[in-house]
């Protein structure tokens, strides 16, 4: 099973949304993958406006808690994606394991209309990532069937 780690500074908005979308859509599409999220300086709780925006599309962030990025979380991941939050190598206890950065706007302190735009951008990126991850397994399944 592939493991993806979404990283943000506070692990309270974008990375939490990405984790929720990824896990929901991976199950829905039958992709053998799971996501986690973490932050380099996590806050005490998930951004309530981000949670509200996710609730509007039927995904709950209730019970989710921001967590500290650790070397173990990074080592367990096949792919690490930052959200465009300026995660700097010296802030990151895992070193430079970042595989890509999505350059998404920070929803912190933004009105719900802006957070919805961020949510929709996160979902689009996650869908593209899952499509990409699905391709290799489909190819290998074809090879095994031959």
Where residue 111 sits, what CATH number does that domain have?
3.40.50.2300
Which domain range does residue 94 map to? Answer: 2-145
Number of domains in the chain: 1
Confidence of residue 143 (pLDDT cuts 50, 70, 90): very low
pLDDT of residue 111: 97
Report how far residue 69's alpha carbon sits from residue 93's, in angstroms, rounded to the nearest whole number. 7
Report how far residue 27's alpha carbon sits from residue 23's, in angstroms, rounded to the nearest whole number. 6
Confidence of residue 97 (pLDDT cuts 50, 70, 90): low
Per-residue pLDDT at 74 exceeds 50: yes
Confidence of residue 98 (pLDDT cuts 50, 70, 90): low
For the four alpha carbons of 101, 103, 106 and 111, in that order, the dihedral sign comes to negative
**CA 106-88-83 angle, 5° bins:** 30
Report how far residue 45's alpha carbon sits from residue 95's, in angstroms, rounded to the nearest whole number. 25
Q: What does the mean pLDDT of the chain come to?
A: 87
Taking only the tens place, the pLDDT of each residue in 27-42 is 999 999 999 999 989 9
């Amino acid at each position: 099973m592939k493991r993806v780690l979404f990283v943000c500074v506070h692990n309270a908005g974008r990375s939490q949304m990405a984790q929720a979308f990824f896990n929901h859509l991976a199950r829905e599409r039958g992709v053998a993958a799971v996501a986690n999220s973490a932050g380099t300086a996590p806050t005490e709780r998930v951004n309530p406006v981000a949670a509200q925006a996710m609730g509007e599309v039927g995904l709950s962030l209730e019970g989710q808690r921001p967590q500290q990025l650790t070397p173990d979380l990074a080592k367990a991941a096949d792919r690490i994606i930052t959200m465009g939050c300026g995660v700097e190598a010296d802030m990151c206890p895992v070193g430079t394991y970042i595989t890509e950065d999505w350059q998404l706007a920070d929803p912190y302190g933004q009105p719900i209309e802006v957070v919805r735009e961020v949510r929709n951008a996160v979902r689009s990126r996650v869908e593209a990532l899952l499509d990409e991850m699905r391709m290799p397994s489909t190819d290998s399944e074809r090879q095994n069937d031959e």
